[in-house]
Structure 1
Amino acid sequence: MNDASQPSAARGQASRKLATPPPPRPPVLRSVQFASRPGIEHYFAELNARAPSAHREIASWGRDRAARLNLELVQAPSALQAGAAPQLFLTESRNSFVLNVRSQDCSAPAERAPHLLVGLVLSGSVRLQMLNEGECLARAGEGLVFNPAEVEQAQFAADSHFVEIALPREPLLRLGSALWAVPGAEAAPARLQPKLAPGLAQKLHFMAQQASGLLQQGDGAAPPLLMERWVEMMGLSLLHEQAALGPAAAAQPKRREEPLRPRSLSRALDYLDAHAQSEILLSDIAAAACVSVSSLLRHFNEHLGLTPMAYLRQLRLDRARAELRQGQAGRIAELAQRWGFQSAGKFSQAYLRRFGERPSESR
């Protein structure tokens, strides 16, 4: 939920702690709290208009009927600013709904992003679709490190508690080049794997809390050298403790290490791939995989983060999109029926949530 450093108050929401016109010296800490759907929708509409580089859309209000959005925003000191616009050092968000954030400009070179972002998932889950890394999912206790210029789409699950920390990009890359320096070889920039293990995520959260507390003391004029050292410690922890690629491997294709999938899961995926257009029950998938339904559900959750039927739904949407792009789809209603959707309306809604565009826009 980046770019939230300057929220403005929604009409009729004066009783809540919303942002006011900034004083000559902006406060270090800002709190934004909403407890109604109209207020939340208005806030995101204003944010989309003010920061059009990304489009934020509520995909679902979740199981909890009470709509909530709480933000704690800590502005970075001048020593950590890397651009003309005010930069947040830390954003802490709690949301009761499913939020999709879609980039509106992935054409800009990724190198232009002045900061790398560290995202820590304290509860719920966050899913990123990135240009070079593909899809990355972080659940409660895990974290992600990423270049915001490379993120195509992000999805925050309902009831998520998420902390985002901005680290200046160039100093971090210089630290990585020095840390992995090879004698006699030209230094190459550090390459970080996006997924953070729970232990590292917890350590970074602690250090971010300490740095934020330092910023909030007195009038926020934290000693620049002390803040720089905190940020440097966070960068060194990232570079040293997570699985990262040093200069010796920089020229090699990046390989992801994933836990081996059980054969039963491979059989289930093969079955779904071959029968995506058929009417399929959960028991059919379990029978094809030669496991019980409970084991099937556990395997899908552990290795894919989805239920079998959710995976099937995504597979069908992907196939439908391929037909649209190849000009083989025909009418949208026929396409929806062919891929197992009860109506063109439900198909269009699911399509928009997954791809950020309507079926007619993919033709």
Structure 2
Amino acid sequence: MTKRQIICLACTAVVVASGLGAAAPSAHAATHVVRPGESIQKAVDAAKSGDTIFIAPGTYRESVLVTKSNLTLRGAGRTTVLKPAATTATATATAATTVPAAGRSAAVNACASAGNGICVTGTADKDVGNVTIRSLTLSGYKKNGIWATETDRLTVRNVTSEKNGTWGIAQQQSTRAVFRDNIARDNGDAGIFIANTVEREGGAVDTKKAVIAGNRMSGNRIGATIRRVRNLTVHSNDMTANCAGVFVVGDESEPGAGDMTIRANKIYKNNKSCPATNRLPAIQGSGIVLTGAETTTVRNNLILDNVGVSPLSGGVVLFQSFVGASNDDNEIRNNRVRGNSPYDLVNKGTGTGNQFVGNSCQVSEPTGMC
């Protein structure tokens, strides 16, 4: 070994020993254990950046607000269950006793009174970053199981969110989220929902490569709704028994919704019937619907036996939005689209530049796309 090699090895040893060659863990990282009868919120309030709140098996009747970055909420799997507080009075009392008096009890109570299970909330000036929620169940909340706003790098994994009034797992005005290996079932609207904002119109938000992957969505109004956002991937999900599998929704605002990839999903028998709303007609038998989307790729999906009589029924449906925005420059490629009714592939509206290439299908509107 040369003298130069010996010197290099010595330098490497010093770097490894000092911890400079890898990200060092936080010096004060701790695990807070919450057991049945104890408050999850109290543990969150006591936690510092880098800490984990471990929620032991049991049922917890509360809503939880997270406003700190770099926290992990981790349950023991499906045996860790969060449900709404028994009464509004109970929720208010819990908030008052578990949160410091410096104005935060009102925010916690707002999360509960809005009907949400876990809220991760930043501000317009400062996102809440690197929060992880995993391995637990949220059930029966009036509005959403998980609600996030102004967040960055939120991770939701191995969570079951079921029987909530609106959305199972939802976020707005947020970036780089990862929603992976979750179950979202029997929710009033979408199992998983990502939007720019739910309170006003506006151009699509760049999600900076958010990911929705490996989830199972069933029994919802819509499996996954992607509304007025850009730059994300929806892949390897299983969607069945919803009224519709995937909705990509845009409008006339700029920048437009789209610039995303929907690939390798299994979307089948989404034949539940849902009545019309003030936004959409009745929905039944829709696999993937693009309405007001641009430069979106739909490829290598298995889309089978989605059957209905709605204007939005069919395997892959390009439908002009109800505010007049067209679908433009989308690519529908190499999908297996079979047994859908009235059509496997549908291209309606005045959009331009849309391509249907290499799909295995039987019937289309207009004809000739199969």
TM-score (norm 2): 0.26
More helix by share: 1
More strand by share: 2
Instruction: Tell me: higher relative CO, structure 1 or 2? Use CA pairs within 8 A at least 6 residues apart.
Output: 1
